[in-house]
């Protein structure tokens, strides 16, 4: 039986607000989009989750073939920072390629309260740690070697598509000088299988109303996809016009119950109304990170992840 491309909307706990998507190709290559926050946990969860998905034991070697960081917020890159706190030559894993395109935060009109200079410097230091452990030569910060090297406005405008094990990562949008906030800087990536009539999945990450309109103006009806990741955890992200163009059958919500059920501060009610979704009566096409029913009791335990990780899986 032919192996399928699998997408995992990972979440170690229903109360953790974060975004983490793992894509496993038919030949077991691992691609990450973001990874989650380091706010809630004392140790990294991702090595255990990956080993569980690959059927490996504690300490077994694995590779992340590509790691995309969508934008400069901790709930998207924080898990990488956490992993690098524990990383050394005995960790027995490596990342083959990092892909991200962040603006020059410190010299932009974006405010420090939006991107958090402290978190950003921790991200830089984490990349330095990775390079040093793997004997990668660099001067200054390794961040500067990687940032925008592959994904940048020019390459995106030329139709940048990265191919990994016959899975295509079509980078539709990156940051723009007109972006009014860090969320608007988000990469937008569409994932599909090469030469196969399988589903397509559009990752909006934390795209805003303005960057969503920029996306819509560029692609229009070409945004049509079978699966969509709900922007900004399903609230205060892109507007209804973008979702109308995408017209997805399946919606991925990287959301917590406290956010899903909030009726006072956030905008989840408004977004749900666009799809006629009730708080306690959503469809099989709505996959909530807070709705799996089971999570690892110990997020560093491979065996605990094995018990629940299939609940987080979507077949492309």
What's the confidence (pLDDT) of residue 278? 85
Could you please report the per-residue DSSP string of the chain? -----EEEE--SSTT----EEEEE-TT--EEEEE---SSS-SS--HHHHHHHHHTPPTT--EEEEEEE--SS-HHHHHHHHHHHHS-STTS-EEES-EE-----GGGSSS-HHHH-HHHHHHHHHHHHHHHHHTT---SS-HHHHHTTSSSSHHHHHTT-EEEETTEEEEEEE---TT--STGGG--EEEEEETTS----EEE-TT--HHHHHHHHHHHGGGG--SEEEPGGGGSSSS-HHHHHHH--SEEEE---HHHHT--SSSSHHHHHHHTT-BTTB--TTEEETT-SS---SSTT-HHHHHHHGGGGEEE-
Q: Are strands 30-34 and 62-68 parallel, antiparallel or unpaired?
A: parallel
pLDDT bracket for residue 83 (50, 70, 90): very high
Among 8, 72, 44, 23, smallest CA distance to 254 is for 8
- Per the structure, the complete domain to which residue 250 belongs is given by 6-315
Q: Is residue 73 part of a domain?
A: yes
pLDDT-derived band at 106, boundaries 50, 70, 90: confident
Whether 19 has a pLDDT exceeding 70, the answer reads: yes
pLDDT score for 270: 94
Is 165 part of a structural domain of the chain? yes
pLDDT in tens, 130-152: 999 999 999 999 999 999 999 99
What percent of the chain is predicted at pLDDT more than 70? Answer: 100
In the predicted structure, residue 309 carries a pLDDT above the cut 80: yes
Residue 310: partners with Cβ closer than 8 Å, 6 or more residues away = none
Q: How confident is the model at residue 74 (pLDDT cuts 50, 70, 90)?
A: very high
In sequence order, what are the beta bridge partners of 229? Answer: 203, 252
Question: What is the DSSP annotation of 211-261?
Answer: HHHHHHHHHGGGG--SEEEPGGGGSSSS-HHHHHHH--SEEEE---HHHHT
- pLDDT band for 181, please (50, 70, 90 cuts): very high
Tell the residue number behind the tokens 């030559």, with chain if given: 89
Number of domains composing the chain? 1
Residue 246 has pLDDT above 70, yes or no: yes
Would you give the end-to-end CA distance of the chain in angstroms? 15
Q: How many CB atoms lie within 10 A of CB 228?
A: 23
pLDDT grade for 253, boundaries at 50, 70 and 90 = very high
pLDDT on residue 7: 98
Mean per-residue pLDDT of the chain: 95
Residue 2 has pLDDT above 80, yes or no: no
Within a domain: 185 = yes
Confidence tier at 311 by pLDDT (50, 70, 90): very high
Specify the pLDDT at position 215: 98
Q: With respect to residue 1, please indicate whether it lies within any of the assigned structural domains.
A: no
CATH assignment of the domain containing 248: 3.60.15.10
Model-level pTM? Answer: 0.97
Q: In this structure, what token pair is assigned to residue 218?
A: 């560029």
Q: Please compute the mean of the pLDDT values over residues 197-226 and round it to a whole number.
A: 96
Spatial distance between the Cα atoms of 143 and 129, rounded to a whole number of angstroms:
11
Per-residue pLDDT at 280: 85
Chain segment 258-298, per-residue pLDDT in tens: 999 888 788 899 999 999 998 888 888 999 999 999 999 99
The pLDDT confidence band at residue 1, using thresholds 50, 70 and 90, is low
pLDDT (average), residues 204-214 = 97
- The pLDDT value recorded for residue 12 is 96
Q: Which residue has the tokens 């009806």?
A: 221
145 in any annotated domain: yes
6-9 and 167-173: which strand pairing? unpaired
């Amino acid at each position: 039986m032919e192996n399928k491309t699998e997408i995992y909307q990972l979440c170690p706990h229903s109360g953790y607000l974060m975004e983490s998507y793992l894509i496993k190709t038919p030949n077991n290559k691992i691609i990450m989009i973001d990874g989650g926050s380091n706010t809630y946990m004392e140790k990294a969860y991702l090595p255990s989750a990956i080993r569980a998905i690959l059927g490996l034991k504690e300490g077994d070697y694995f590779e992340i073939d590509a790691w995309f960081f969508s934008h400069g917020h901790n709930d998207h890159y924080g898990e990488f920072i956490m992993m690098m706190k524990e990383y050394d030559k005995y960790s027995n894993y490596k990342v083959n390629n990092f892909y991200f395109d962040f603006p020059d935060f410190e010299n932009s009109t974006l405010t420090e309260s939006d991107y958090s200079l402290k978190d950003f410097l921790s991200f830089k230091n984490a990349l330095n740690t990775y390079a040093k452990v793997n004997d990668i030569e660099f001067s200054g910060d390794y961040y500067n070697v990687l940032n925008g090297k592959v994904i940048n406005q020019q390459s995106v405008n030329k139709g940048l598509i990265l191919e990994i094990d016959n899975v295509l990562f079509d980078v539709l949008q990156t940051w723009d000088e007109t972006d009014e906030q860090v969320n608007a800087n988000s990469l937008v990536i569409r994932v599909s299988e090469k030469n196969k009539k399988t589903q397509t999945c559009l990752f909006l990450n934390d795209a805003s109303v303005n960057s969503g309109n920029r996306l819509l103006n560029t692609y229009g009806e070409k945004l049509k996809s079978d699966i969509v990741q709900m922007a900004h955890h399903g609230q205060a992200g892109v507007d209804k016009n973008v979702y109308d163009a995408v017209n997805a059958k399946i919606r991925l919500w990287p959301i917590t119950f406290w956010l899903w059920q909030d009726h006072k501060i956030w905008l989840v009610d408004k977004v749900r109304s666009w799809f006629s979704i009730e708080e306690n009566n959503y469809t099989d096409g709505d996959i909530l990170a807070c709705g799996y029913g089971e999570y690892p009791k110990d997020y560093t335990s491979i065996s605990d992840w094995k018990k629940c990780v299939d609940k987080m899986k979507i077949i492309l």
